[in-house]
A and B are shown apart, each in its own frame.
Chain A
Amino acid sequence: MEGLSAYSLIAEPEELRALTQLASRLEGRSFLHVNSTFTGGGVAEILNRLVALFRDLGIEARWEVMKGDKSFFDVTKKIHNALQGQEAKITTQMWEIHREANEANAKRISLDADLVFIHDPQPSAFVLHRKYGLWIWRCHVDVSHPYLPVWQELESYVSRHDGAIFSGAKFAQSLSIPQFVVPPSIDPLSEKNKDLSDQEICQELEAHQINQDKPILLQVSRFDRFKDPVGVTHAYRMVKKYHDCQLILAGGTATDDPEGEEVLARVGEAAEGDPDIHVLLLPPFSDRTINALQRSATVVLQKSTKEGFGLTVAEALWKGKPVIGGAVGGISLQIHHGVTGFLVHSIEGAAYRIRQLLHNPELGKKMGQMGREHVRRNFLITRQARDYLALWIALEHRGERVIAV
């Protein structure tokens, strides 16, 4: 980690001043994060960088990952899908599997910390074993329209925390505990987002047998049905009639996502027979490859049908690319329709906007410039770190609406 000074040429000075002042108030305090995967998806990625940044600021930050067997992750995937609105039957026995796995992990992991962040539903029952300090449930999922029987069950754990954080205001629920909105962020200095030379980009593309002789449409995301990779292949085929382009679907599967392989197989079927569709199953820590792919793309897609936030949108905008995204969840926080990209509601809409951008490269360039500035002002890791520390102080001054630090 490069230290806070490394961000001084990128982030707003005011943001860095606030972060430093807040951190000085919390120096030496302990901050524990618990989630369920070390790799795959945006949560693990940002924790990796945030924890290092907090340590650099003098806070004793720690990140622990809970373990579980296939039965546990089958249950938590069902819970995850239900929170995103899919009807799901979670039996008493399934909830018991969830609770027991939480109990076993809570005994294994030291929960001694002044502030504990529990990320997502997987470790939500850790709270039954809380010792001291403040406990926050950090939700990264699009819970705007949850399947209520599952949400209500989960809420019995959520409400035992001292507060809950959602990625957007539209995800907020009627809860008995304080709620906050903190959008996720990207680290501009990470391997995934730092600048690459043209030569470095070419090397990465060549390693995956991709050349740049045709415009590249790109979607980077886990192979998850809510990311709609199959829908993206359909949109590409509609565009292909008019533009000789290529499609890259790149992503991995997370250890806490048992459905990934099934979705990947369906994508493979949809792509079959077209040499211009590249399906890249990337191993964990392929950040440099993803960086190069995003920088080589003409148009980036994130055609999700549900999305907690969609860090890949911010990543692509940061690289000056126009992004076409599903008008759902956190994507609409990042894409200002017609300014930094386009929000779409259908496969046809995605195809239409791709054609529009391929026809008008200047429009894409302008959107990319606006997108990069939008990310710089709103979605950098320094802003998220600042918000977390401010929230810590706010919870220690509960009831006060204006707090002097």
Chain B
Amino acid sequence: MQEEDLGSKQPFKFFECMNLLQPTGRQAQDLPQLLSLIGEAEPGVIFHHTHQYYLKAAIEIPEYTNDFAVWAAESLEERALAEKLASLDLYGCEDVEEVRNALIRIIKTYLRENPAPRAARNGDAFFFNDAVTIIMEAGPMAGNLPEFIEALRTVGASSIYFHFFEARMRLHGPADDFSVWLNQSLGREDLAQRIQRLDPYHYSLEGLRQQILSVL
């Protein structure tokens, strides 16, 4: 069924967001400490270190996009571990606890199968941070697909981040906000499914915006 027949049940309201970084004061100097602190960290901390890259206004594309993988590669020089951490299927995890458990499983397996890595040098510890997210309305609401496409073209990149990553993983949405709305309000399950098949962790926010637009 096409959305023109259904009409819009509920308009889509776009939000932009920003993060305020909150250090926890906790740091890991080696892999066993990292494992222990991942187990104890607040859910927001795990979310932050696996997703915050996307909100960074980076000028270069990093080798890995989660902080644990970057630290394993650069500070411990454990490239194989970094690859395993970077390959963690974040989009396949339903919530932060599943991400945490997956991280723990990867590190425990690595420690069991490999010689103990050296500690990071002084100053290169892993610093655990949390973040507060401030969300703000971003322009007009979309009541149908053309309005949605137009708004999606113009909202800030943080809006993509919020509706794709934050809403789903941190606010426990069933999927990203875009595909949920397209399915539930416009009846476009076909578009929703195609968006859910995107591999969002391998795009910049601008790249992801273009991918979604091309689906629509």
Q: Which chain A residue lies CB-closest to B155?
A: A14
Interface residues of B in 151-204 (CB under 8 A from A): 156-158, 166, 170-171
Other than the known A18-B16, A390-B132, A403-B133, what 11 A-B pairs have Cβ atoms closer than 8 Å?
Answer: A14-B156, A18-B134, A18-B136, A144-B123, A180-B23, A340-B59, A370-B60, A387-B20, A401-B170, A402-B135, A403-B132
Can you list 7 pairs linking A and B with CB atoms under 8 Å apart?
A: A172-B23, A182-B21, A336-B60, A387-B20, A390-B132, A401-B44, A402-B135
Pick the residue among B60, B123, B156, B170 that contacts A339 (CB under 8 A). B60
Pick the residue among A17, A172, A178 that contacts B16 (CB under 8 A). A17
Does A175 touch B at the CB level, under 8 Å?
Answer: yes
Residues in B neighbouring A166, C-beta threshold 8 A: 23
Does B66 touch A at the CB level, under 8 Å?
Answer: no
Q: Are A169 and B134 in contact (CB under 8 A)?
A: no
Residues in B neighbouring A17, C-beta threshold 8 A: 16, 136, 138, 156
- Measured as residues with beta carbon below 8 angstroms from the partner, the interface class of chain B is 20 to 34
Interface residues of A in 158-187 (CB under 8 A from B): 166, 169-170, 172-175, 178-182
Q: Are B59 and A377 in contact (CB under 8 A)?
A: yes
Q: A254-282: contact bitstring with B at CB < 8 Å (1 yes, 0 no)? A: 00000000000000000000000000000
Pick the residue among A14, A169, A175 that contacts B158 (CB under 8 A). A14
Sorted nearest first, the 10 A-B pairs with minimum C-beta distance are A14-B156, A172-B23, A377-B57, A181-B21, A174-B25, A402-B133, A394-B132, A374-B59, A21-B136, A390-B134
Q: A358-378: contact bitstring with B at CB < 8 Å (1 yes, 0 no)? A: 000000000000100110011
Q: Are A386 and B57 in contact (CB under 8 A)?
A: no
Does A405 touch B at the CB level, under 8 Å?
Answer: yes
Q: Which chain B residue lies CB-closest to A339?
A: B60
Q: Which chain A residue lies CB-closest to B132?
A: A394
Q: Are B25 and A173 in contact (CB under 8 A)?
A: yes
Q: Are B170 and A169 in contact (CB under 8 A)?
A: no
Does A404 touch B at the CB level, under 8 Å?
Answer: yes
Does B18 touch A at the CB level, under 8 Å?
Answer: yes
Q: Are A402 and B170 in contact (CB under 8 A)?
A: yes
**A-to-B contact residues, CB < 8 Å:** 12-14, 17-18, 21-22, 144, 166, 169-170, 172-175, 178-182, 336, 339-340, 370, 373-374, 377-378, 386-387, 390-391, 393-394, 400-405
Residues in A neighbouring B21, C-beta threshold 8 A: 169, 180-182
Pick the residue among A173, A181, A405 that contacts B22 (CB under 8 A). A181
Pick the residue among B22, B134, B138 that contacts A178 (CB under 8 A). B22
Q: How far is the CB of B49 from chain A (nearest CB, A)?
A: 11
Q: Are B20 and A172 in contact (CB under 8 A)?
A: no
Residues in A neighbouring B23, C-beta threshold 8 A: 166, 169, 172, 179-181
A391→B132 CA distance, assembly (Å)? 9
Does B127 touch A at the CB level, under 8 Å?
Answer: yes
Residues in A neighbouring B26, C-beta threshold 8 A: 174
Residues in A neighbouring B65, C-beta threshold 8 A: none
Q: Are A391 and B20 in contact (CB under 8 A)?
A: yes
Residues in A neighbouring B24, C-beta threshold 8 A: 172
Residues in A neighbouring B75, C-beta threshold 8 A: none
Does B129 touch A at the CB level, under 8 Å?
Answer: yes
Q: Are A13 and B132 in contact (CB under 8 A)?
A: no
Q: Which chain B residue lies CB-closest to A404?
A: B135
